[in-house]
Amino acid sequence: MEAKKISLEQFETNRPRLRAVACRMLGSLNEAEDAVQETWLRLSQTEAGDISNPGGWLTTVTARICLDILRSRKARREEPLDKIDADPIGTREAGRSPEDQISAADSVGLALFVVLEKLAPAERVAFVLHDVFAVPYGEIAPIVGRSTEATRQLASRARRCVRGSPIASNANRAKQRRLVEAFLAAAQNGDFDALVAVLDPDVAFRADNEAMRQGSVPEIRGAVAVAEAFKGRARSALPVFVDGGFGLVIAPNERQRIVLRLSCNNERITGIWAIADPESVARLELALLPD
């Protein structure tokens, strides 16, 4: 069957997936849009009859563009920070436009990127394409310039880094994890009573200087006050291990990347520390919680 040039309609059909791929690789909505636009430009310069698998071709081109951006960024030692102001603890859904809500969904990808930042560019591309978007290793290999087996090893190494070292489970740690997950669910659902129930009466929230610069209050004390501060928030949060303990990563936009380190006494959450200083975040050992 003769191959045909990808139409604008086919490109637009694939745009959401391409945007998702780019966003999760780059951790920047603006850069993701630029990468997708560059994909369209390259498509427009491709001769008819050269493309037999539109979705695969577009994903491959977008991934290569992202890899180039990541390598360039690493060489410049720059972070993908766009000048956008937002609430560092989270964003309320009320009164938000559909476009804002789409961005909030994408911001979960930005939160994941805080963990992925510890990976080398090729590792990141292999992990995201295979583990997030189910692209076969054989299709990823030409993108990263490795053999299929080497690409498999790249993704495996990235997976170990992202997932972290297994931590022996015990009753206390299981309780702590349930507390953190219950706290996040109550915050996102705006359930004030459920929030108060998982917080110690004397719980304290504290923020570092960078979090305060971004707009956070320096300190909040007491279950009622902390519950009020988090009610309906943390929409973009992702539960993670933080230096072997539990916490949350929040990335409401490209500019703000915050780690909430939580302390628990197995019955309640006793402390929440907001860490936003880039150097401090870089020193943290972050890993996703296992399913």
pLDDT in tens, 127-181: 999 988 899 999 999 999 999 999 999 999 998 888 876 555 577 888 889 999 9
Closest CA to 128 of 24, 232, 263: 24
Ordered alpha helix ranges (H), 128-164? 137-144, 148-163
Rounded to whole angstroms, the Cα distance separating 100 from 152 reads: 36
In angstroms, what CA-CA distances link 60 with 17, 41, 53, 55, 225?
12, 14, 11, 9, 49
Query: Does the pLDDT at position 27 exceed 60?
Result: yes
Task: Find the helix packing angle between 54-76 and 137-144, rounded to 10°.
Answer: 40
Report for 1-5, 88-92, 112-116, 222-226: range of highest mean pLDDT: 222-226
Q: Domains in the chain, ordered, with CATH?
A: 8-77+85-163 (1.20.140.160), 171-288 (3.10.450.50)
Instruction: Give the pLDDT confidence score for residue 269 in this predicted structure.
Output: 96
Ordered alpha helix ranges (H), 45-97? 54-76
Residue 248 dihedral angles phi and psi, to the nearest 5° = -135, 145
Task: Find the helix packing angle between 137-144 and 148-163, rounded to 10°.
Answer: 90
Residues 165 and 159 sit within 8 Å (Cβ to Cβ) = no
Closest CA to 88 of 268, 208, 196: 208
Ordered alpha helix ranges (H), 117-216? 121-127, 137-144, 148-163, 171-189, 192-198, 209-213
